[in-house]
Amino acid sequence: MADLPYYYGEKGSRKYLESLVPLIILVLIAVVLVGKTTNVFCEVPGLDTTLCSNSGNIRILIIGSLEKVDSDKGGTLVNAPELKSFLDGPMAAACNMQSITLPNPDFLTYAQVAVLKKNDLVILAGNREYNRAVREAISDYLKSGGKVVIIGDAATKDPNDNLVRGWGHMQVPIELKRSHDTSNNIPHFTLKNPIIRIIDIDNPINKISQSLNLNLSEVTDKPTCNNNLTVIDVNPLSGGVISMLTGEDNETGEDRVVPAVVEEKSIFGGGTVYYFSFDPGCSQDMWISTVQEMTGKQTCHLQ
């Protein structure tokens, strides 16, 4: 009885079971890899926590400010008070989103990429002025797989170089439009009755949308979103335009169109950049989907 094998049957059965072990291991590895790199199993009870990081927190670092900053201190034209309200509120807590703010980008002048990589997502907002060292730190962070959201005209100037006007080499999927303005101002205009028109209907951040249009004028509980919306005049580059923002130019009365959300994803293991021309807090569901898509952490479920 001491020599009794772990199987019953002929000797061939044991060899057959042993031959299946490598295949089973490969299948398990494949399942884990698919689960960690996609949202395939995020709706499957049991697997969602194991493979989708549903039990973890999403750490968000805000460089600058989501509130209005004085222009003489490098403040931006586009602010995000509704996003701040969301991140400080119960919905963000329910989705395990934890945010901290680094008010002055200069604090990152001597930062290593490891400092930024402690966060799941970095938001650039509220401050135009990023010196060269900070830009390079963010660029290196992106090359190492970092995730960055840029809101409006954040990070478009260098306090030490008046020739810098735009995002330079930071892998941003849009560029500032050229203008005849010699004052080096950021080109912008104001929209009446803004509407977000979805272009990429298959993009995961639009999966909660019930229509191809989101009329911000009807978002009555967020007055900073629905009228006289300041937007930066930009051209999309190589990135994917997810949605467009349309409305009436407050000055000329003409219809205007500008990219609303644009993404840039590296196909060689680099990072991801999402550009928002408006306050992402104006559409909370879209923001939640964006964060979960960028980080791969589905910490709350949207209906």
Q: Is residue 147's pLDDT more than 80?
A: yes
Domain boundaries, the chain: 57-295
pLDDT at 29 over 60: yes
pLDDT band (50, 70, 90) for residue 194: very high
Report the alpha-carbon distance of residue 101 to residue 115 in Å, rounded: 14
| Mean predicted confidence (pLDDT) in 36-64 | 62
Which of 200, 302, 216 minimizes the C-alpha distance to 261?
Answer: 200
Residue 51 φ then ψ, to 5°: -105, -15
Contact 150, 176 (CB under 8 A): no
Amino acid at 110: Y
Separation of alpha carbons 267 and 55, rounded Å: 28
pLDDT given at position 15: 60
pLDDT value of residue 53? 47
pLDDT at 249 over 70: yes
pLDDT of 157 reads 93
> Which of these ranges, 38-47, 109-118, 147-156, 215-224, has the smallest mean pLDDT?
38-47
Q: What is the pLDDT of residue 16?
A: 58
Computed over every residue of the chain, the mean pLDDT equals: 82
| Percent of the chain scoring above 90 in pLDDT | 49
Sign, CA dihedral 169-170-173-174, equals negative
The per-residue pLDDT for 207 is 72
Range of lowest pLDDT (27-36, 96-105, 223-232):
27-36
> For residue range 126-140, what is the model confidence (pLDDT) as tens digits?
999 999 999 999 999
Which pLDDT value is given to residue 258?
95
For the segment 185-199, the average pLDDT, to the nearest whole number, is 92
Task: Calculate mean pLDDT across residues 212-236.
Answer: 87
Count Cβ atoms within 10 A of the Cβ of residue 217 and give its class: 0-12 exposed, 13-18 middle, 19 or more buried. middle
Quote the pLDDT of residue 57.
92
Domain 57-295 maps to which CATH number in 3.40.50.880, 1.10.645.10, 3.90.1200.10, 3.20.20.70?
3.40.50.880
Amino acid (one-letter) located at 20? L
Q: What pLDDT is attached to residue 84?
A: 96
pLDDT of residue 179: 66
Beta strand ranges found along 55-167 (DSSP E): 58-64, 97-102, 121-125, 147-151
